[in-house]
Amino acid sequence: MEKKKVFISGGAGFIGSFLCGHYLGKGCDVWCMDNLITGSMNNISAHLDNPGFHFLKEDVVCLDPEKLPGDFGYVFHLASPASPPDYFMYPMETLRVNSQGTEKCLMLALRCKAKFLYTSTSEVYGDPLIPVQNEEYWGNVNPIGVRSVYDEGKRYGEAVVMAYNRKYGLDTHLVRIFNTYGPRMRLKDGRVVPNFIYQALSGRPFTIYGDGMQTRSFCYVEDLLKGLTLLVEKDYHFPVNLGNPGEFTIMELAGLVDKIFGRKSGIKHMPALEDDPKRRKPDISRAKHLLGWQPEIPLEEGLRRTIDYFMAGFMKPGSGEIT
């Protein structure tokens, strides 16, 4: 790969930091922008001494494309709160980063004639009325519900990306990410995998909202990263699902975490969350055909890797306390 400049918004986040590492490993100059409301300097600490890495602590909504270099080869827009507690806490920030922030990144890509990739989400399908979600499904979204700041923010983001592609011929790419997990997630970010790991580490029962029969499809971050970097090289501009088609109930996930820890945590049921999707299962036929991509890491193996990461980094030696 020829040396290129890569711009990544949300680059200090969970997925963004892995993307930074990938392109640094390819010899690229990486410009990472993050306002750190959900990202963390810990995620990019290994890159800070790399002369090819440039960190900009800034909100991408305030980005001035004219003040950055004009020779980026890639622009990735990953910035956005992504867990319900985060976008409930930051509703306006979530809407702005997926609307104004998306267009600022598109303006940068257009100025540089760069490849552009926007990370959308399976949440654009809402609470789906079909058991397996393909890219042709328009979704079942409550436009004024509590989750709408994220769901509709991402749907708007997709619309403006397609508008830039059609109006300006910009080389755009859209990824709909299904539940992704792995190291560098925040242990208390509110999503189910880190929630269960935190509760197991601290000896608490698993909190399950509703009856636990709602399903999710869990993709390990390493698999997702391969999909992102393959798609941005393709001459294809419509949405592509990236996720693991293995479908698990939340109760089954709790059982797997218990199995790895070798304990019985118990369950604390809470009322079901408003507009919480009952099923999540991606149709990845398009990714298979277009990219030759499918996830390789089984859920249990990915959970073991993730738990090892949290146990190594979040336990005080000898104290049993979670930092």
CATH number at residue 75: 3.40.50.720
Q: Is residue 85 part of a domain?
A: yes
Is 275 exposed, middle or buried, given 0-12, 13-18 or 19+ CB atoms closer than 10 A? middle
User: Whole-angstrom Cα distance, residue 48 to residue 26?
Assistant: 16
User: Whole-angstrom Cα distance, residue 198 to residue 253?
Assistant: 14
- pTM of the entire structure? 0.95
Q: Is residue 320 part of a domain?
A: no
pLDDT at residue number 320 = 43
Nearest CA to 195 out of 147, 267, 90 is that of: 267
203 and 160 co-located in one domain: no
pLDDT at residue number 42 = 95
DSSP 109: H
Domain range enclosing 101: 5-181+218-242
pLDDT at residue number 2 = 61
Q: Is residue 271 part of a domain?
A: yes
Q: Is residue 176 part of a domain?
A: yes
3-state DSSP call for residue 273? coil
113 and 63 co-located in one domain: yes
Q: Is residue 289 part of a domain?
A: no
62 and 147 co-located in one domain: yes
User: Whole-angstrom Cα distance, residue 189 to residue 88?
Assistant: 12
127 and 256 co-located in one domain: no
Give the residues across from 116 on adjacent strands: 75, 172
User: Whole-angstrom Cα distance, residue 173 to residue 240?
Assistant: 8
67 and 115 co-located in one domain: yes
Q: Which residues are catalytic?
A: 150
- Whole-Å CA distances, 235 to 4, 70, 115, 120: 19, 22, 10, 18
61 and 198 co-located in one domain: no
Q: What b/e sequence results for 14-33 when a residue is b if at least 16 CB atoms lie within 10 Å of its CB, and e otherwise?
A: bbbbbbbbbbbeeebbbbbb
Q: Is residue 173 part of a domain?
A: yes
30 and 123 co-located in one domain: yes
144 and 235 co-located in one domain: yes
211 and 236 co-located in one domain: no
Q: Between the CA atoms of 11, 13, 17 and 23, what dihedral angle is there, to the nearest 10 degrees?
A: -30
pLDDT at residue number 314 = 56
DSSP 297: S
156 and 44 co-located in one domain: yes
Q: Is residue 19 part of a domain?
A: yes
60 and 74 co-located in one domain: yes
User: Whole-angstrom Cα distance, residue 184 to residue 311?
Assistant: 12
Pairing of strands 172-177, 180-181: unpaired
CB 77 within 8 A of CB 105: yes
Number of structural domains found in the chain: 2
Q: Calculate Rg over the CA atoms of the chain.
A: 19
- Whole-Å CA distances, 52 to 25, 117, 308: 10, 21, 30
222 and 209 co-located in one domain: no
Q: What is the mean pLDDT of each run of 10 residues along the chain (323 residues)?
A: 86 98 97 97 97 98 94 97 95 98 98 98 96 97 96 98 98 98 92 95 94 96 98 98 97 97 92 91 98 98 97 58 46
